[in-house]
Amino acid sequence: MRVLLQRVSRASVAIDGQIHGAINQGFLLLVAAEDSDTSEQVDYLVHKISKLRVFQDDADKMNLSLADVHGSVLSVSQFTLYANTKKGNRPSFVAAGEPTHAKALYEEFNEKLAATGLTVATGVFGADMQVDLINDGPVTIWFDTDAK
């Protein structure tokens, strides 16, 4: 699985001009799965992301977790994280997971994040979405379970 995490001061996702999910301070997560991914990868990512300490403490060090700052998560499915641009000018997405499998893992990921006590808003798997955000920092972190 791949997740691109952005620390945000606010983020929202709209579908057909209507806000579907929105958060204030927290993480915007762009999430993708491949066919070989399992619940093991989901569990690894949930643990890493829910414990990640990238918010400033009183000494201005990145030392606080999402829970410490009462932040939220906006999770958006994005199969294009598996784009292969090695050949030509048009990306290939053959490494992206088959939609039924990828959707199940995306939903499992969101449910397990919420089970940690975090507030989780989502987009809609497979929908055409418009994402609006203010990246705080900027802080952007890449997770790839193939590289763990």
Q: Which residues are catalytic?
A: 78-80
> For 146, which DSSP code?
G
**Please, how many CA atoms are within 13 Å of residue 62, restricted to the half-sphere of its CB?**
9
End-to-end Cα spacing for the chain: 11
Burial class of 104 by CB neighbour count within 10 A (0 to 12, 13 to 18, 19+): middle
Angle, alpha carbons 89-93-97 (nearest 5°): 170
